[in-house]
A = this chain, B = another copy of it.
Amino acid sequence: MMRKITMREALNEALFEEMERNKNTLCFGEDVGYIGGIFGVTRGLQEKFGKERVWDTPIAECTIVGAALGMAITGLVPIAEMQFADFMAVAFDEVHNKLGKWRYMHGGKFEVPVTLRLPIGISGGAGPEHSQSPQALFVHSQGLYVVIPSNPRDAKGLLKQAIRDPNPVLFFEHKKLYEVKGEVEEEEFLIPFGKAAVKKQGTDVTIVATALQVTTALEAAELLEKDNISVEVIDPRTLVPLDTDTIFESIKKTGRLVIVHEDPKRGGTGAEIAALVAEELLFDLEAPIKRVAGPDVPIAQNIHLEKYYVPSVEDIIEAVKETLD
């Protein structure tokens, strides 16, 4: 049987392997060095690779990202962690206007192999500025890749790909997945960007879900199976580039689409997917598209209220059934 490891371990392995592979690869950010990150993803790296390659930066997110760009265009391969993806707001200019555009606006003369690791998601009462899932903002950016794994194996293969890719990659890690275990082979592997994973085949309704919501969608799908509703669950794995082929193929078969994500609904990651389908596949749809998403209000800190922000199995089941009415 294949070994099972947590997503944290899988990410950690990816970092180890890529740091070993290329000595110009560096890891830095707040608390990533000595303690190995507040979520423990970079544990052991400083011990192994030294303080020059793995270190704790001051609390200055613009500078972390700006410096990463400076390193990348002069021969290094920086991997920086934002302690919480929410802090991408602080370094927004550096991400949206610098990382994404530096190569293009300077005539294609640079490569920008930057990876930003970005913990997202609602987890344990962290409140309105430590719980967000801001990936939709960067779907609107240019020149960035947006990666969002849902399980240990994908996390490992995608992170290795991200580090090797000569372009800037935003790598979103759902905090609630760090402890989740899954099968990951011992041998080295990469997962290419732009290839969705069909997590479960089905014929009645297509669900497109990302990150933690893939698990929720699969749970819903299993329960729906008991009602003889056959659901296909697709995890795009990368939002930019988006594997429209796989998604469209599925919708052509099912005629129904439910999109599930934790980020707020308005202008969220589901909007672009829904819009593409409404442009390209309108006559294949047999029911209105449904989005099951976070509400358009900031995330309360009250731990008792958190559940109201996260798409639940019941929410998904209800949405799927509505498409079948």
A residues near B (Cβ < 8 Å) are: 86-87, 89-90, 92-93, 96-97, 100-101, 104-105, 127-129, 136-137, 139-140, 142-143, 240, 263-264, 266-268, 270-272, 274-275, 277-283, 285, 287-291, 296-298, 301
Q: Is the CB of A297 within 8 A of B142?
A: yes
Query: Which residue of A93, A274, A278 has the most chain B CB atoms within 10 A of its CB atom?
Result: A278
Give chain B residues whose Cβ lies under 8 Å from the Cβ of A96.
Answer: 89, 92
A168 to chain B, nearest CB (A): 13
Q: Is the CB of B268 within 8 A of A289?
A: no
Q: Is the CB of A93 within 8 A of B97?
A: no
Q: Is the CB of B279 within 8 A of A274?
A: yes
Find A268's partner among B100, B140, B285 (CB 8 Å cutoff).
B140
Query: Which residue of A128, A267, A282, A290 has the most chain B CB atoms within 10 A of its CB atom?
Result: A267
Q: Is the CB of B140 within 8 A of A128?
A: no
Nearest neighbor of A288 in chain B, beta-carbon distance: B282
Rounded to whole angstroms, the CA-CA distance of A266 and B240 in the bound complex is 10
Q: Is the CB of A129 within 8 A of B97?
A: yes
Find A289's partner among B129, B278, B287 (CB 8 Å cutoff).
B278
Find A278's partner among B105, B139, B274 (CB 8 Å cutoff).
B274
Query: Which residue of A264, A266, A281, A291 has the most chain B CB atoms within 10 A of its CB atom?
Result: A266
Give chain B residues whose Cβ lies under 8 Å from the Cβ of A86.
Answer: 97
Rounded to whole angstroms, the CA-CA distance of A104 and B301 in the bound complex is 11
A109 to chain B, nearest CB (A): 14
A281 to chain B, nearest CB (A): 8
The 9 closest A-B pairs by CB, nearest first: A92-B92, A140-B267, A274-B275, A89-B93, A278-B278, A139-B267, A282-B288, A271-B271, A271-B275
Nearest neighbor of A286 in chain B, beta-carbon distance: B282
A193 to chain B, nearest CB (A): 15
Find A97's partner among B89, B100, B287, B291 (CB 8 Å cutoff).
B89
Give chain B residues whose Cβ lies under 8 Å from the Cβ of A100.
Answer: 298
List, sorted by A's number, 13 A–B pairs whose CB atoms are closer than 8 Å.
A90-B93, A92-B96, A97-B129, A104-B297, A137-B137, A139-B266, A142-B296, A270-B275, A271-B271, A271-B275, A277-B278, A279-B290, A282-B289
Q: Is the CB of A298 within 8 A of B267?
A: no
Q: Is the CB of B128 within 8 A of A136?
A: no
Q: Is the CB of B278 within 8 A of A288?
A: yes
A251 to chain B, nearest CB (A): 12
A286 to chain B, nearest CB (A): 9
Give chain B residues whose Cβ lies under 8 Å from the Cβ of A89.
Answer: 92-93, 96-97
Rounded to whole angstroms, the CA-CA distance of A314 and B302 in the bound complex is 53
A118 to chain B, nearest CB (A): 15
